[in-house]
Chains A and B, each alone.
Chain A
Amino acid sequence: MFDSITSKGTSLTNADLEDFSESVLNSALKVEESSITHAFSVKFDLKSGTFDFIPQLPVSFSIDGNLAQKIQQIMAGALYPVLTLLPMNGPVFTRENSSRLSSMRGLRFYFKLGIAKRLFYHKLSDIKAVKKGNSWHIPLMAGYDYVLNTSSAPHFGIEGKSGAGKTVLELSLIQGIWSIPNSHLVICDPKLDLHLYQFANSHERVNYLTPAVNDNPSVFFVAG
């Protein structure tokens, strides 16, 4: 995704990254207070965006989620900004291409090439969904889209404190959806956000709801 990786004009190879990662882990990875020098190897696959940590058994540590978390912590920083290590939900075990019982297993980590790159737009209306096959793609970052198709329309949720940029992001996604022909929007906005209001006012096919000033509080509300 993102950028292509280069160091002084030449592309990095799997071997470069393997050497680098092994030396980083050799120095940094400590299990139960002792370093585990040379008890493992690292295998990169730039094409599929994964690298495996392959311990050479027997080792003095257990191969588990704890170990995976430590490796993740070390490598996330070490690989920046060449690769973006993706956060994990738990350890991923893989079967390695080895017939030896001592090195048959690995812990897998996932990454994307480069780092996230922000998109710049002059106007909100510059954001447009692009049709690719059956799906509509709304750009979120360079090389990363929000994908919508009519057979599975993924809903979206945005969470963030005020001032984090929620409204702008919301507007850019809404604008993206609006740019798809025949789309229809309903915006329920309890706090009367100026930008949402303006968006609704200046676009067709948008229904905008906000509380009226003289409306009664819901304490007396009767469901209907």
Chain B
Amino acid sequence: MIIRAFFLSQVKAELSKALDVIHQRQQQLLKEPNKEFGFYCVVIDEALAITAGLPKRDRDDYLSQLDSLALLGRSCGVVLAVTGQALSASGNAVAISTQARDQLGLKILLVGNANVTAQDCRFLFANLVDPNSVVITRDNFSKGLGLVYREADGRVMPLLAPYIENLEG
């Protein structure tokens, strides 16, 4: 899939806007260290589709914006959310850089109805020694099964994602 030029420039503009928010908030935090901000969340859906087919210079440009957002945003309520078929960080298909990926405080791998394999874990859960020994609980619904990692407790555990009857409501 080749991403379209106008879309990419829009995405980059939104990312710089988010970076501006970070800088403003950092200034404010100097004056009021305890200030609480509302969350400003940038969601990148299907991240691989954005970088696919981009000239290297444009891709690096975009990825470094994500890096800044991931590294600086954490202290002032700016949240980066990335989803994709594979959150790879090297080779031809790059969804996100390794540095930015390491900043993800909540990592989720969904595996459909199959078991978790080492192949599935290679991007988000590369440190996991033995993915085969994870017992994924099943119920009568086969979607939203997988693994979740939370920075707060540093633990990986089986996940059953919430079931929502009506997505439009």
Contact = CB atoms under 8 A, between A and B. Distances in A.
A125 to B, nearest CB: 6
A136 B130 CA distance: 32
Interface of B is mostly: mixed
A87 B157 contact: yes
Contact of A164 (B2, B49, B110, B134): B110
A78 to B, nearest CB: 10
A191 interface: yes
Nearest to B44: A188
Contacts, number: 339
Interface string A205-221: 00101111001111111
Tier of interface size on chain A:
35 or more
Nearest to A91: B129
B169 A76 contact: no
Nearest to B125: A87
B156 interface: yes
B45 A87 contact: no
A152 B76 CA distance: 7
Interface in A65-100: 65, 69, 72-73, 76-77, 80-81, 84-90
Contacts of A80: 135, 137
B112 A164 contact: yes
Interface residues of B, number: 100
Given A76-B133, A164-B143, A193 B85 contact: no
B161 A165 contact: yes
Interface stretch (A4-12, A14-22, A23-31, A139-147): A139-147
B77 to A, nearest CB: 4
Contacts of A154: 74, 79, 104-106, 150-152
A181 B40 CA distance: 11
Given A86-B156, A195-B167, A158 B14 contact: no
Interface stretch (A40-48, A55-63, A109-117): A109-117
Contact of B137 (A88, A115, A196, A219): A115
In the complex, the 10 A-B pairs of residues with the closest C-beta atoms, listed nearest first: A154-B105, A182-B38, A160-B110, A123-B169, A215-B4, A165-B144, A165-B143, A164-B110, A211-B7, A156-B106
